[in-house]
Amino acid sequence: MNHFALTIVGRDRPGIVSQVTGILFDLGCNIADSSCSILGGQFAMILILGHPEFNHRESFGDAFKPLEEADLTVALRVLKPGGEIHQALEGEICMVSVYGADKPGIVYRVAKVMGENQVNITDLNTKLVGSAERPVYVMILEAVLPAGISEQDVNAWMDPLREQLQVDISVRIIPTVEL
Amino acid sequence: MAVRSIRLYPDPILKQVAEAVRVLDETVVAVIQDLVDTMVDSGHSVGVAAPQIGILQRVLVVDVSKSKLGKDNNHGLLEMVNPEIIEKSGSRLMREGCMSVPDYTGNVMRAEHIVVEFTNRAGQLRVIEANGFEAVAIQHELDHLDGRLFLDRVSSLKTDLYRRKK
């Protein structure tokens, strides 16, 4: 089975998922991992696909043309063998919530600290809420803490950002339990 | 007395509602013992419900006393027949995994404090108050008696944030 990453973005309306998955079904593609959501007024789809025979971009022919004609932007990435396999990440799961008056650099400043400390961000969502006069920025990220890094460490890294960005940041560990 | 193999989803028994125990006889005691043996044998497990070993009866065992999260706040080994939660409060998010659904974990919000009523192995009616991890474990195992897996309760952060905005 060869694998591909497909992304599709376009103005949200009913029928996008149905049109996209209909085409994939007719091609004989398997949808493995996927994440699709409304972001702003756009609907964004990210899918990891498998196909038993297809091995390059050309295999898809002009199957996605109807999507482009429907004003959706389509991008396809051919994955190297093994590129579809999710590596098991060892470590505690840490959630960081950041919120405050909207200003430039909130995502970057937080992500920079995490990256510099070799913390792998596994999920990140942001949303602009509040009113037009008083926009409030909310970011929630999930990260895997490498051995030797604690919730207290992450909290301490956030202290300068709380001060500089004037945002509220909370850090908490989500315990993983086998029941 | 035996270690039983854990049924794995999509085994249909995991989605069925278990029947209440009418008479607590030696067959039920044997089920309790098998659950304990299976829980102990699996090493890392803190609870097993009867449907997970293929028995559709409302019986479960929980013991969080050996786990890091539960060792300071627990009732030791709990053997519950016909358990029922009569009160719940608070909420707590944990990333749950389940022996019947290998290789997948999901964030589940559950009550932080519960009061649960059950019959023990000796046939006595007991009521206990459980908190924290022990409360979460009991709720997870009790769900198995109703044919419910943690997958039925997984909540997405994205949708939570989205809903609250409205």
CATH of domain A2-78: 3.30.70.260
Specify the DSSP element, H or E, that contains B30: helix B26-41
Q: What is the domain partition of chain A in residue ranges?
A: 2-78, 92-174
* Residue B31 confidence (pLDDT): 98
Q: Which CATH superfamily is domain A92-174 in?
A: ACT domain (3.30.70.260)
Residue B154 dihedral angles phi and psi, to the nearest 5°: -60, 135
Classify each residue of B118-136 as buried b or exposed e, where b means 16 or more C-beta atoms within 10 Å of its C-beta: bbebeeeebeeebbbbbbb
Residue A18 CB partners (closer than 8 Å, separation 6+) = none
* Residue B55 confidence (pLDDT): 98
Residues A110-130 have a mean pLDDT of 94
Residues on B contacting A at a C-beta cutoff of 8 Å:
44-47, 67, 69, 93-99, 105, 107, 133, 136-137, 140-141, 150, 157-158, 161-162, 165
Residues of A in contact with B67 (CB under 8 A): 177
Place of tokens 């002009």: A62
Q: Which fold has domain B12-160?
A: Peptide Deformylase (3.90.45)
The answer to whether residue A174 neighbours chain B at the CB level (below 8 Å) is yes
Count Cβ atoms below 10 Å from residue A142 Cβ, excluding itself: 18
pLDDT digits (tens, 9 = 90+) for B107-158: 899 999 999 999 999 999 999 999 999 999 999 999 999 999 998 988 665 5
Q: Of the candidates B68, B29, B67, B50, which has an alpha carbon nearest to the alpha carbon of residue B143?
A: B50
Residues A3-15 have a mean pLDDT of 98
Q: Take residue A35 and report the two structure tokens written for it.
A: 């994440």
* Residue B136 confidence (pLDDT): 97
Strand partners, A78: A4
The model's confidence at residue A176, banded by pLDDT at 50, 70 and 90, is confident
Cβ–Cβ of A127/B165 closer than 8 Å? yes
Judge if A2-78 and A92-174 fold alike in CATH terms: yes
pTM over 0.95: no
* Residue B43 confidence (pLDDT): 83
ipTM of the complex in this document = 0.77
The model's confidence at residue A15, banded by pLDDT at 50, 70 and 90, is very high
